[in-house]
Structure 1
Amino acid sequence: MSETETAGAWLSREDLDSARDRLPILYVSAVPVRVDDRGSVTHLGLLLRANDDGAIGHEVVGGRVLYHEKIRDALARHVENDLGPVALPRLPLAPQPFTIAEFFPTPGVTPFHDPRQHAVSLAYVVPVMGDCRPQQDALDLSWVTPAEAAQIAASGEMTPGHGVLVRQALAHIGFAI
């Protein structure tokens, strides 16, 4: 994964809560995609998860960037954590996000809301080549066409803000919404 030791980079629950009260937290989000031989996106992968309130919704891959962790390494770690060790992501040599999502604890500041914190997420479209299986707290992984993804994103079936990310990812890959 990374040559940098990140095992000591996790904050305790209390320290994380304290940091969330005072600082924006950096995240990465990845929209996993399947591509054909010409590089055209054929399917997007959406995770199904339950949130803390018990509501179930679709999400994209993602999570926090650790202290002293490269963005590429954070992307690879979250793809592996969410999709499994043989997802085989094709990460860009020099990652450039397709958007930067600002999640605020106050609803309505941006289309992105996270009641726990102010978070900034760098969002990427990541082609995956291997066998993907939902991991950790993900209940399921659905591979949907771009048209189906647009419909799910617009229907409100996604965790708040994730539908906006999917629509932005679709626009980024040239799919007319």
Structure 2
Amino acid sequence: MTETADFPEDPRPDGWLTERELASARRHLPLVYVDAVPVRVDESGDVIAVGLLLRVSSVGAMTRAVVSGRVLYHERIRDALLRHIEKDLGPMALPQIPASPQPFTVAEYLPTHGVTPFHDPRQHAVSLAYVVPVAGDCQPQQDALDLAWITPEEACESQVQAEMTGGHGYLVRQAMAWVGRQP
């Protein structure tokens, strides 16, 4: 692995693309993402709460979302999950990533509406989706305004589902079905 000190003209960490390179990649090939549905579990491991981020969309609408982000070149899936959870929920979230993380589904986000339940106008992205228990103190970070912990049943209600865009509502319903908590 090459250290950045060998290339002082390029201060970006390994795996980062310039905005121009990223835009070009998004036009030509699918990108790999991770989606993480943060949950609180009781002592028996049953999901008792789902964490949804409150964000402002590019058009100024308030929306709810799960933790999501791109997997960098040469980055392990577990490291991408940890990085994005820390980025969105803070360094004290204490996510409990299993030794061998297995996604509950693979979500294919397309720039065209209606082909799949998932939509991202910027790109074609393939996302591995995980339910991730978090045990620590979560504080919204980056562009998240708030983090709400709601019951699995509330997360599946039509009002909450309507607040999620891009298919995140569908993803949360799939996650709750996977853990046996969909009403």
TM, length-normalised to structure 2: 0.91
* Structure 1 counterpart of 2:174: 168
Q: Are 2:114 and 1:133 equivalent residues in the alignment? A: no
User: How far has the Cα of 1:127 moved from its partner?
Assistant: 0.3
CA offsets per residue over residues 115-157 of structure 1, 9 Å max, x none?
A: 1100011000000000000000001000000111111576411
The partner residue of 2:18 within 12, 18, 41 is 12
Are residues 43 and 152 of structure 1, via their aligned partners in 2, closer, same or farther at CA, if it must alter by over 3 Å? Answer: farther
Q: Are 2:60 and 1:49 equivalent residues in the alignment? A: no
Q: Which moved more, 1:5-14 or 1:60-69?
A: 5-14
**Considering only aligned residues, what root-mean-square deviation do their CA atoms show, in Å?**
1.6
Q: Is the 8 A contact 2:154 2:160 kept in 1?
A: no
| Percent of aligned positions that are identical | 63
* Off by >2 Å, runs of 4+ in structure 1: 152-155
Separation in 1, partners of 2:125, 2:28: 11
TM, length-normalised to structure 1: 0.94
Q: Are 2:39 and 1:25 equivalent residues in the alignment? A: no
Separation in 1, partners of 2:65, 2:159: 10
Separation in 2, partners of 1:50, 1:24: 25
* Structure 1 counterpart of 2:110: 104
CA offsets per residue over residues 6-42 of structure 1, 9 Å max, x none?
A: 9221111111000000000100000000000000110
Long gaps (5+) in structure 1: none
Q: Is the 8 A contact 1:153 1:163 kept in 2?
A: no
Query: Helix, strand or coil for the counterpart of 1:138?
Result: coil
* Structure 2 counterpart of 1:65: 71
* Structure 1 counterpart of 2:7: none
Q: Larger radius of gyration, structure 1 or 2?
A: 2
* Structure 2 counterpart of 1:94: 100
